[in-house]
Amino acid sequence: MARIYQPTARNLAHLARVLRRGGLVAIPTETVYGLAANALDARACRRIFRVKGRPARDPLIVHVGHINQVDALAGFNETAWHLARTFWPGPLTLILPKKPVVPAVVTAGLDTVALRIPAHQEALWLLHQARVPLAAPSANPFGYISPTTARHVQETLGRKIRHILDGGPCKHGIESTVVDARDPKRCVILRAGAVTAAQLRAALRGRKVKVVSARKRAGGRAGLRAPGLLSRHYSPRTRLHLVRSLGASADLPAETGRIFFRKPAGAKLRENEWSLSTRGSLAEAARRLYAVLREADARGLRRIEAELAPATEGSLAEAINDRLRRAAARRIR
């Protein structure tokens, strides 16, 4: 079973050596826990795909510890530099033309690479000590619910890896926003995430740069450029059904679970009921989403009903509902 390491100086030095020698380490970030390997070591990165059961066509995100390191990995334009300086360290991933040093396995054979700097102290300490960029998709079996604690990683990958760095619960709880920033005049959001469309537009206001969503363009091709875009992903084993609104129910079958976006006023939740937020906070709902899905999935239920977040264009609701839709991959009633 994988060992969970506390972030002491001794442990960080040890895990940095593991990574430099081609090993795998599950690491915390502010979004979700990632399964990390030296991004410049093709053999180590192939191990990520094998451990996760991840298809080779799905590219990996490369994490670096400082903005000065990214120029060696990708070609940046003025708009990409502005976004990097505005949001890094943070939950924004930029898709840019890759440089030859990045192995093809990392980019799924594409001519682009996904880059970000995590806003997590322990992850940054490890990156600085390892002195190499780290490729790190979510540290879970491919397609399953992403992990937001070290214990989540141990429960699903603990028999396949040896090292997990504990950085506490993830601050945001959902994956980074992915933006195709190759065109300095047009940024395309390929995956909604913790940085919202409204924040991106505000950051680029006055620079004559359009910010659009990939779903508004023709394009199943968008999925080739970024991870996390398969129609079914982040999924519990229990059948998940989405609803616009969950009303009160006096008779809840024992084999059915219900996940409210906001806890019903004055109501006491029953054993198989959960709420993502007490007061309707999108940030709290995002942070709790995967942990609640895991808890519900562990109950041995036949069915889980989940309520969508109230839709607000450009807000964090887009990311929450994107994850719920991919987790269910079924029609909404």
Q: Which residue has the higher pLDDT, 121 or 223?
A: 121
Q: Is the pLDDT of residue 229 over 80?
A: no
Question: Tokens representing 216?
Answer: 């508004």
The pLDDT tens digits of the residues spanning 262-307 come to 998 877 888 899 999 999 999 999 999 999 999 999 999 999 999 9
Q: Is the pLDDT of residue 318 over 80?
A: yes
Task: Give me the pLDDT at residue 188, please.
Answer: 96
**Helix, strand, or coil (residue 294):** helix
Q: Is the pLDDT of residue 145 over 60?
A: yes
Question: Tokens representing 12?
Answer: 């960080």
Share of the chain above pLDDT 90, in %: 84
State the CB neighbour count (10 A cutoff) for residue 66: 12
Is the four-CA dihedral 188, 191, 192, 194 of positive or negative sign? negative
**Structural domains of the chain in order of their starting residue, each with its CATH number:** 3-224 (3.90.870.10), 239-328 (no CATH)
Kindly report the CA angle at 320 between 315 and 326, in degrees rounded to 5? 130
The pLDDT tens digits of the residues spanning 152-183 come to 999 999 999 999 999 999 999 999 999 999 99
**Helix, strand, or coil (residue 184):** coil
